[in-house]
Amino acid sequence: MATAEQKIHVTEFTNEPFIDFSKPENRKAMEAALKKVASEFGKEYPIWLNGQKVTTTEKRMSTNPSRPMEIIGIFQHASADMAKQAVEAASKYFDTWKKVPAQERAKYIFSAAHIIRERKFELAALVCYEVGKTWPEADADIAETIDFLEFYGREMLRLAEPQKLTPQRGERNYLVYIPLGVGVIIPPWNFPCAIMAGLVAASLVTGNTVVLKPASDSPTIAAKFVDILFEAGIPKEALNFITGPGGAVGDALVTHPKTRYIGFTGSKEVGLRISELAGKAMPGQIWIKRTVLEMGGKDGIVVDEEADIDSAVEGTVQAAFGYQGQKCSACSRVIVSEKIYDTFVQKLVDRTKKISVGPSDDPNNYMGPVVSASAMKTILDYIEIGKKEGKLLTGGKRAAGDGYFVEPTIIADVDPHARLAQEEVFGPVLAVIKAKNYDHALEIANNTEFGLTGAVYSRNPEKIRKAEESFYVGNLYLNRKCTGAMVGAHPFGGFNMSGTDSKAGGKDYLLLFLQGKSVAEKVSN
């Protein structure tokens, strides 16, 4: 019998290369893409419900955080009843979609990856406008989207084959993986294409049907991705697209008895609520709902006295202020040995003062805006708390411009148990903590309720090995920044209140969307 790999000839997975914007032709292509996307501002996008376009009287707007008066897209305001209809429709179509061969489902996902690769500049420009990502950050988002599609397509081909078991005399025995049912996907705004696409692609390629509710701050890129999937051949009935208020619509999706699992990335508070709601069986529900939850972080970089200080400074700045600190993997605490503390802090401040802040479509800016007015208020409130808990060294206020711009902010001499050292800020605010020695630094690094990413800078191999053993995070980085996980190379997900350690982009990820069925048949000798 031909294997799945023989039916679809795929090369070994490799990560999508990033765009080199130093090349004039790439800069021109990005500038042209930004103009094209801007010409479509104000376009209205429908809900997709049971394969049909639906509009509502009440509308919702997606705006540009660099220029909040600019409307990126106009969206529908779905009701809880529409959310229930979406789950019902997805449940009905599941019986059809689950029978589509895995090879065919994978072909659709590979086709979508090809379309995205062809439209890479345009999609990056949209991400740049809608959530304030700079050119390199937006490009990385789209590259990761392609990676997820290519990786999960290949993984499904591997898992589609009957899995070998320990042979039993007189039996034909094997194990197959089958899909779960209706998946509700609730992605975040900070990786508006990659995380959203990864959750949706993993669900569809494994044979599940999907109800996608994008983040309120980033529905346009999600709408574009849905259109691309339809263009690639995914049946419209397999993917329902619902925009609306998180409370009413989200709760209706999570609690519906025909919802089989929820894939969520976002805050700890919302993740815990989803876990609680999903854990309660509703009338007519015949399964325990699965939850795939990736939540917050309070990620720390440890800088040992034996570290390369300049390298540690650069890695800390990139991890703390890349995409305005709005990554769950971002460095929000740097824990520094007291022997090099003053030197490191001075170099850190000097480097941070060189960061330019402004509209994200301008390639001269390293930092763009934070995503919304409410996010800006929360960040500025935390800065005020930080000023009381430590010493403000640079930044500390709103930056110039009409957008939601916040200065890169460093607050030193923060106590390890202070609020700024324990609570997720999700903005360009870095707490600097002094450690007595390396062991003390690791102790501080492990002292939060989170456990997502962490990094250690040290040239001492024994200390590196100790971090490998005792730094309690899902993604540990050694002598490099704690952001920038690559699909396939750095399976991503964390411990404790950082989520269910789902390991997106890893070999075991698709198993979260599948269930095993063991088959044993008695055969004659």
**pLDDT (0 to 100) of residue 1:** 32
CB burial of residue 450 (10 Å; 0-12, 13-18, 19+): buried
Residues 125 and 238 in one domain: yes
Q: Give CA torsion, residues 509, 510, 511, 514, to 10 deg.
A: 150
Residue spans of beta strands (DSSP E) within 278-421: 290-294, 299-303, 331-337, 391-394, 409-412
Residue 440: CB partners within 8 Å, gap ≥ 6? Answer: none
Of the residues 122, 137, 294, 305, which is catalytic? 294
Q: How far is CA 398 from CA 226, 250, 373, 395, in A?
A: 36, 32, 11, 8
- Percentage of the chain beyond pLDDT 70 is 98
The number of residues making up the chain comes to: 525
Residues 270 and 316 in one domain: no
> Does 366 map to a domain?
yes
Average pLDDT, integer, range 25-31:
98
Residue 99's nearest CA partner among 176, 247, 207, 20 is 207
Residues 155 and 287 in one domain: yes
> Does 496 map to a domain?
no
Residue 269: CB partners within 8 Å, gap ≥ 6? Answer: none
Contact call for residues 505 and 492 (beta carbons, < 8 A): yes
> Does 4 map to a domain?
no
Residues 338 and 272 in one domain: no
Residues 197 and 109 in one domain: yes
Contact call for residues 471 and 261 (beta carbons, < 8 A): no
**pLDDT (0 to 100) of residue 248:** 87
pLDDT at 6 over 80: no
| pLDDT band with cut points at 50, 70 and 90 for residue 247 | confident
> Does 12 map to a domain?
no
CA atoms within 13 A on the CB side of 146: 22
Average pLDDT, integer, range 375-404:
98
Residues 277 and 371 in one domain: no
**pLDDT (0 to 100) of residue 525:** 65
Of the residues 328, 331, 424, 482, which is catalytic? 328
Tens digit of each residue's pLDDT (9 = 90 or more) over 272-287: 999 999 999 999 999 9
CATH of the domain at 214: 3.40.605.10
pLDDT at 172 over 80: yes
pLDDT at 205 over 50: yes
CA atoms within 13 A on the CB side of 96: 11
Phi, psi of 259 (to 5 degrees): -70, 125
Residue 162: CB partners within 8 Å, gap ≥ 6? Answer: 174, 175, 176
The average confidence (pLDDT) of the chain is: 97
Q: Is 213 helix (H, G, I), strand (E, B) or coil?
A: coil
Radius of gyration of the chain (CA): 24
**pLDDT (0 to 100) of residue 4:** 41
328 is catalytic: yes
> Does 375 map to a domain?
yes
| Dist. CA 518–CA 515, nearest whole Å | 10
Average pLDDT, integer, range 252-272:
98
Angle 401-407-409 (CA atoms, 0-180°, nearest 5)? 170
| Dist. CA 337–CA 344, nearest whole Å | 9
Contact call for residues 220 and 96 (beta carbons, < 8 A): no
Average pLDDT, integer, range 325-338:
98
Average pLDDT, integer, range 141-166:
96
| Dist. CA 181–CA 90, nearest whole Å | 8
Phi, psi of 404 (to 5 degrees): -90, 65
**pLDDT (0 to 100) of residue 246:** 85
Residues 80 and 189 in one domain: yes
Structural domain of residue 321, as residue ranges? 299-487
> Does 493 map to a domain?
no
Residues 107 and 245 in one domain: yes
Beta bridge partners of 467: none
Average pLDDT, integer, range 143-167:
96
| Dist. CA 86–CA 212, nearest whole Å | 9
pLDDT at 3 over 60: no
Place of tokens 């001499």: 413
Residues 154 and 272 in one domain: yes
| pLDDT band with cut points at 50, 70 and 90 for residue 5 | very low
Residue 278's nearest CA partner among 258, 297, 295 is 258
Phi, psi of 496 (to 5 degrees): 55, -130
| Dist. CA 2–CA 123, nearest whole Å | 37
**pLDDT (0 to 100) of residue 7:** 67
294 is catalytic: yes
> Does 436 map to a domain?
yes
Residues 324 and 246 in one domain: no
Average pLDDT, integer, range 124-131:
98
> Does 200 map to a domain?
yes
Beta bridge partners of 239: 210
The DSSP bridge pattern shows strands 209-212 and 239-241 to be: parallel
Beta bridge partners of 53: 48
Q: Which helix (H) or strand (E) holds 328?
A: none
Tens digit of each residue's pLDDT (9 = 90 or more) over 400-438: 999 999 999 999 999 999 999 999 999 999 999 999 999
Residues 201 and 236 in one domain: yes
| Dist. CA 31–CA 8, nearest whole Å | 37
Average pLDDT, integer, range 6-35:
94
pLDDT at 305 over 50: yes
- Domain count across the chain: 2
DSSP letter string over 240-275? EE--S-IIIIIHHHHH-TTEEEEEEES-HHHHHHHH
pLDDT at 509 over 70: yes
Average pLDDT, integer, range 80-84:
97
The model's pTM: 0.97
Average pLDDT, integer, range 144-164:
96
Residues 330 and 357 in one domain: yes
CATH of the domain at 426: 3.40.309.10
| Dist. CA 261–CA 181, nearest whole Å | 8
| pLDDT band with cut points at 50, 70 and 90 for residue 524 | confident
| Dist. CA 365–CA 372, nearest whole Å | 18
Average pLDDT, integer, range 376-398:
98
